[in-house]
Structure 1
């Protein structure tokens, strides 16, 4: 019975250590695996003596290294890895189109600007951020500041609109 417990504890220890390396590198699985390996060695020492304890530890180390080597060489973990790559790149056309905008131009919020959203200027959609309060969709907005590719807008008040129209 002790032999079965020792083997079970050592296999569990190796499984937890491999899990620590490949699945959940938080330290908890590794500590649990190390504890189970030492526990199996202690049980082997009290049940079968020092020679058996050293043999159990040696077998555990060999088993762990063998499992690690097999896992890395046999592409066992390939099905867990991410195979997709990012294909996007910085859009120079966006930088050019933003440079065509000027402070003071008016447009319309296509979506709610909370804290970012889309607005239409010159029949083109831009990502904008409001300065101050959030802006509802459909509201008229005015460009207040442009920093590289970031556009900051404010909601056009009815008072400003009347003054602007006169």
Structure 2
């Protein structure tokens, strides 16, 4: 009898824990949630089969009540807020050093441009890009367009 109670409590407890993990941490329907639901159902079924119908009803009601309270508490309070990512990366390329470059300025590539890479203009490194073509390292380039923080270059023949 005691072993039946321990089995029922462990199955339902682990099952509810897996369902909460599914809802909070794992997006979508995955094996974690399905396994949690199955373990909870098996725990309730063992409660009915081994402990009787009246005790099974009590176990079912307690399981529904505990799971409802657990879900309500999990979503209502900020108990899971420490697991959430709240920071945003707002940095952009070439934002640290606002360039004073103009269209027509020439420079030299430091890395290969495939189509993006690094070029040297006025002894400063800048992230640049081509219109899609490959440019080898140490190739002279010219700025053909400036678009906010984007520097578009072409190889000088």
CA distance in 1, matches of 2:77, 2:133: 57
C-alpha distance in structure 1 between counterparts of 2:56 and 2:27, whole Å:
28
1:12-46 per-residue CA deviation (whole Å, 9 max, x = no partner) reads: 11110121122223322222222211111222222
Equivalence for 2:102: 101
> Cα RMSD (Å) of the superposition?
3.2
Q: CA distance change for structure 1 residues 144 and 83 in 2, over 3 Å: closer, same or farther? A: closer
Greater helix content: 1
Gaps of 5+ in 2: none
Corresponding residue for 2:133? 133
Are the equivalent residues in 2 in contact too, given 1:13–1:33 (CA < 8 A)?
A: yes
Partner of 2:47: 44
Per the alignment, residue 23 of structure 1 pairs with 25
Could you list the runs of 5+ residues in structure 1 that have no partner in the other structure? Answer: 161-166
**Residues in 2 aligned to 1:61 and 1:110: alpha-carbon distance in whole angstroms:** 65
Q: What is the CA deviation profile of residues 110-141 of structure 1, one whole-angstrom value per residue up to 9, with x for unaligned ones?
A: 22222311212233432211234322332211
Query: Aligned residue pairs: how many?
Result: 153
